[in-house]
Amino acid sequence: MLADKNIHFMAIEGVIGVGKTSLCRAISERWNAMFIEENFAENPFLPKFYENRAAYAFQTQLFFLLDRFKQLQNSALQSDLFHDLLVSDYTFDKDRIFASQNLTENEMTMYDQVSNALVHDIRKPDYVVYLQASVSTLLQRIRGRGRAMEKSIDGNYLSDLQDRYDHHFWHYTDAPVLIINTDNIDFVHNESHLQIVLNAIASCPSQTTYFVPEGN
């Protein structure tokens, strides 16, 4: 469990395919945490977005924005007597990273108007774990999980997204951030690698910390 008992809400972040959801599930099972999972499968615009980003970016982004708002708002209202920890596979702030990459200037203006009206009522995490990986590693993992709608994701898109994520979390000040480079480990299929990651997370650094575990 976490060394800092004042942490009640933890977010696992990272680019597409890095293993956020898998790590959240492992944490929820081992540490008896309540898990908030992003509803990507319920977004009716997402498959169309991967086929034509320009035409469906705004609808896709707005759905995610409102759905994430609803999930996090509901979690703040819930009184769960059986879990000391809440873990999510996203932060509300990450939504704007995708928006800034995919929306036009006019769409971004409208998006910000909606987002700014919601953000004040959002519960912020006490601790963020940012999973990092190279573009080649991300592409390998995306191909490995075999989601049909993700086949069109290319390296240039991921590289741009990775740069935006790096900038965001290196400058994040709302909570301590543990940045874990996952290129040399496979915590999804290797139990010893998973334990390395869980031990690092449990240490709860008080400031932004960069960790590069070695698989061997």
**For residue range 29-55, what is the model confidence (pLDDT) as tens digits?**
999 899 999 888 899 999 999 899 999
Cα 179 to Cα 110, 163, 187: the distances in Å are 32, 14, 15
34-36 and 209-211: which strand pairing?
unpaired
- 89 tagged catalytic: yes
Q: Is the pTM of this model over 0.85?
A: yes
Domains defined for the chain, CATH in brackets: 9-211 (3.40.50.300)
Residue 35 token pair: 């898990």
pLDDT of residue 187: 95
Q: Model confidence at 76, in pLDDT bands (50, 70, 90)? A: low
Pairwise CA distance, residues 216 & 185, whole Å: 8
Residue partners of 149: CB distance under 8 A and separation at least 6: 46, 47, 50
How many C-beta atoms lie closer than 10 Å to residue 125's C-beta? 25
Residue range 45-72: mean pLDDT, rounded: 93
Cα 180 to Cα 38, 104, 209: the distances in Å are 21, 32, 8
Alpha helices in the chain (DSSP H): 20-30, 46-51, 53-77, 94-102, 105-118, 135-145, 155-170, 191-202
Q: Model confidence at 151, in pLDDT bands (50, 70, 90)? A: confident
Query: Pick the catalytic residue: 4, 67, 80, 89?
Result: 89
pLDDT above 90 (res 213)? yes
pLDDT above 80 (res 210)? yes
Residue 103 token pair: 């929306």
Query: For 159-174, how does the pLDDT look when each residue is reduced to its tens digit (9 = 90+)?
Result: 999 999 999 999 999 9
Write phi, then psi, for 94 (nearest 5 degrees).
Answer: -65, -25
Averaged pLDDT of the chain: 91
Query: For 80-120, how does the pLDDT look when each residue is reduced to its tens digit (9 = 90+)?
Result: 667 789 999 999 988 999 999 999 999 999 999 999 999 88
Q: Model confidence at 73, in pLDDT bands (50, 70, 90)? A: confident
CB 92 within 8 A of CB 68: yes
Amino acid, single-letter form, for residue 22: S
